[in-house]
């Protein structure tokens, strides 16, 4: 992250601000970054996002999405970009594009979709943001706005690792484009899907499902596609309008329902507890077999690489992550950083585990930070629990930081250790039946409204026709 920011700054300072031709409109426009810079920035943002969100470990599914996306992208205005389509391991329905052609769709979005035509419409829309250079325009603006950030950007790369990614990587992907950009991406996506013989009428279903999903979901920590893609009614209307001009198909347009559903059969659904989950303020990680207690009322989030908690007043952060090296090595590396002054460092045992902790002050570009770092060793892995705040607030938080570090413990509870994610199962209904009836025959451990949603049915009493391929959610 730090590198590409430096790159943008360098481009500005040396006056490399260039005028580039927009590949879609053919207009000349001010571009802060060249195409090779765009690819470089995009690649870094994509790597950060892949690390933070994680990718679904299913090679066949990843290859399928890559193949579909690439097919569309290769006939777009920018076929030469290093297009990469990935399924992010995130239960929130979302899709986003980093500049340079790096596109992500979440497994939460895949769970909502019913066929390949719908999937293609989402991928096509994101491709449109890249080909029309929306994401790079946004990125340059955001990069510039970001130069004066506070707590997230700390000089020390180790301390900055998460704050920077959160501020610079993911957030940038969740930026809202303007209304015009969304309209253009919709039009481009429609065009790409149509060019490949897909039934573009399926596009509308995606918006209807997302609207229904937003009504059910309430507040999710990660923004969904709908929150970064507003005005669904208008967009449904515009698609309907475009459809009236659609010439009759010479041969049937592709929907690809059975193919698509076979690909997502068995896909994890909802939060994956193997990667850690919260019970109130306690974080439990079955795969790594540990637990940690965060302060009550702090806002927590579990990323693939770190678990973070922010204080209610947003002036302190606690971050838990795995770090390389032994307990000794990790401790020495951390406290030996330039710009960091260590207090007393002491070896201790935390719930029977070897640990080292110490307070520190870190000089950053914007402020002096005070913090406590606790390192704990379990099963040959080293964990770092880092709490920090501006130095002026540190006294008020020090005890909290130490208490969180001391709460680290081996997870021994058998049922917690055995937790598994729920999964999608595809079942062909033998006769017409309501969603409620299907749920009685093949129970899912989710609310009935949610079951109706993932089957793209308006409600529990909606009737699915005979032969309908229905989604069931299996597991506890």
What residues from 143 to 182 belong to the interface with Zn ion (CB under 5 A)?
182
Report the residue number, 107 or 229, with the smaller CB distance to Zn ion. 229
185 binds Zn ion (CB under 5 A): yes
Helices 134-146 and 116-131: angle between axes, nearest 10 degrees: 60
To the nearest whole angstrom, how small is the minimum distance from the Cβ of residue 132 to Zn ion?
A: 10
To the nearest whole angstrom, how small is the minimum distance from the Cβ of residue 256 to Zn ion?
A: 22
Whose CA is closest to 68, among 225, 169, 163, 196?
196
To the nearest whole angstrom, how small is the minimum distance from the Cβ of residue 96 to Zn ion?
A: 8
Please identify, among the stretches 45-53, 190-198, 223-231, 379-387, the one whose residues bind Zn ion according to the rule CB under 5 A.
223-231
| Six-digit token string for 446 | 């989710």
Report the residue number, 5 or 229, with the smaller CB distance to Zn ion. 229
Question: What is the number of helices (H) and of strands (E) in the chain?
Answer: 18, 21
Say if residues 263 and 60 touch (Cβ distance below 8 Å).
yes
Report the residue number, 182 or 272, with the smaller CB distance to Zn ion. 182
Per-residue contact string for residues 112-141; x = within reach of Zn ion by CB under 5 A: ------------------------------
Report the residue number, 132 or 454, with the smaller CB distance to Zn ion. 132
Report the residue number, 135 or 331, with the smaller CB distance to Zn ion. 135
Instruction: State how far the Cα of 43 lies from the Cα of 454, in Å rounded to an integer.
Output: 32
Nearest 5°: phi and psi at 434?
-75, 165
Report the residue number, 89 or 182, with the smaller CB distance to Zn ion. 182
Collapsing DSSP to helix, strand or coil, 293 comes out as strand
What residues from 228 to 267 belong to the interface with Zn ion (CB under 5 A)?
229
Whose CA is closest to 386, among 315, 307, 332?
307
Please identify, among the stretches 83-91, 225-233, 402-410, 454-462, the one whose residues bind Zn ion according to the rule CB under 5 A.
225-233
To the nearest whole angstrom, how small is the minimum distance from the Cβ of residue 121 to Zn ion?
A: 12
Per-residue contact string for residues 263-302; x = within reach of Zn ion by CB under 5 A: ----------------------------------------
To the nearest whole angstrom, how small is the minimum distance from the Cβ of residue 41 to Zn ion?
A: 19
To the nearest whole angstrom, how small is the minimum distance from the Cβ of residue 475 to Zn ion?
A: 32
Considering Cα of 68, then 69, then 74, then 75, what sign does the dihedral take? positive
Please identify, among the stretches 99-107, 226-234, 346-354, 468-476, the one whose residues bind Zn ion according to the rule CB under 5 A.
226-234
- Residues that bind Zn ion (rule: CB under 5 A) add up to a total of 3
Report the residue number, 188 or 385, with the smaller CB distance to Zn ion. 188
Whose CA is closest to 146, among 18, 6, 300, 299?
6
Instruction: State how far the Cα of 162 lies from the Cα of 393, in Å rounded to an integer.
Output: 20
Say if residues 114 and 457 touch (Cβ distance below 8 Å).
no
Considering Cα of 135, then 169, then 221, then 445, what sign does the dihedral take? positive
Report the residue number, 38 or 58, with the smaller CB distance to Zn ion. 38
To the nearest whole angstrom, how small is the minimum distance from the Cβ of residue 95 to Zn ion?
A: 8
469 binds Zn ion (CB under 5 A): no
In Å, what is the CA distance from 435 to each residue of 260, 438, 450?
21, 5, 11
To the nearest whole angstrom, how small is the minimum distance from the Cβ of residue 25 to Zn ion?
A: 17
Nearest 5°: phi and psi at 4?
-75, -25
Report the residue number, 229 or 471, with the smaller CB distance to Zn ion. 229
Which residue has its beta carbon closest to Zn ion? 185
To the nearest whole angstrom, how small is the minimum distance from the Cβ of residue 176 to Zn ion?
A: 9
Any alpha helices (H) in 54-178, and if so which ranges? 59-74, 107-112, 116-131, 134-146, 157-165, 171-173
Q: Give exposure, 265-289, as e/b (b: 16+ Cβ within 10 Å).
A: eebbbbbbbebbbeeebebbbbebb
To the nearest 10°, the Cα dihedral for 47, 50, 56, 58? 0
Rule CB under 5 A: which residues touch Zn ion? 182, 185, 229
């Amino acid at each position: 992250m730090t590198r590409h920011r430096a790159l943008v700054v360098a481009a500005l300072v040396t006056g490399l601000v260039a005028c580039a031709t927009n590949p879609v409109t053919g207009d000349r426009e001010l571009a802060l970054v060249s195409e090779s810079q765009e690819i470089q920035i995009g690649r870094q943002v994509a790597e950060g996002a892949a690390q933070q969100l994680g990718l679904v470990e299913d090679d066949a599914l990843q290859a399928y999405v890559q193949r579909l996306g690439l097919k569309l992208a290769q006939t777009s205005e920018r076929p030469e970009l290093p297009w990469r389509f990935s399924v992010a391991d995130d239960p929130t329905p979302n899709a986003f594009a980093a500049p340079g052609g790096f596109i992500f769709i979440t497994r939460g979005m895949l769970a909502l979709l019913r066929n390949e035509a719908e999937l293609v419409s989402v991928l096509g829309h994101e491709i449109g943001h890249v080909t029309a250079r929306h994401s790079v325009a946004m990125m340059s603006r955001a990069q510039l706005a970001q130069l004066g950030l506070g707590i997230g950007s700390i000089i020390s790369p180790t301390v900055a690792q998460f704050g920077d990614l959160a501020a610079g990587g993911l957030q940038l992907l969740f930026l809202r484009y303007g209304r015009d950009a969304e309209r253009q991406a919709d039009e481009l996506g429609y065009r790409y899907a149509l060019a490949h013989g897909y039934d573009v009428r399926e596009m509308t279903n995606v918006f209807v499902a997302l609207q229904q999903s937003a009504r059910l979901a309430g507040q999710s920590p990660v923004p969904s596609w709908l929150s970064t893609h507003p005005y669904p009614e208008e967009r449904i209307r515009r698609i309907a309008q475009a459809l009236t001009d659609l010439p009759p198909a010479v041969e049937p347009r592709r929907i690809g329902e059975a193919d698509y559903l076979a690909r997502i059969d068995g896909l994890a659904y909802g939060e994956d507890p193997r990667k850690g989950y919260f019970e109130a303020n306690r974080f439990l990680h079955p795969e790594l077999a540990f637990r940690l207690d965060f302060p009550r009322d702090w806002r927590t989030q579990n990323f693939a690489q770190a678990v973070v908690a922010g204080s209610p007043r947003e002036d302190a952060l606690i971050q838990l992550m795995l770090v390389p090296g032994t307990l000794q090595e990790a401790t020495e590396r951390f406290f030996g950083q330039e710009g960091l002054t260590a207090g007393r460092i002491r070896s201790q045992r935390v719930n029977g585990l070897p640990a080292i902790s110490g307070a520190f002050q870190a000089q950053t570009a914007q402020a002096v930070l005070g913090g406590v770092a606790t390192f704990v060793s379990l099963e040959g892995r080293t964990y770092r629990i880092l709490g920090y705040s501006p130095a002026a607030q540190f006294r008020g938080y020090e005890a909290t930081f130490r208490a969180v570090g001391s709460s680290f413990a081996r997870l021994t509870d058998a049922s917690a250790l055995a937790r598994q994610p729920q999964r999608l199962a595809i079942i062909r209904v033998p006769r017409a039946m309501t969603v409620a009836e299907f749920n009685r025959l093949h129970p899912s451990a989710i609310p009935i409204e949610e079951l109706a949603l993932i089957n793209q049915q308006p409600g529990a009493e909606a009737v699915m026709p005979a032969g309908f391929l229905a989604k069931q959610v299996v597991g506890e």
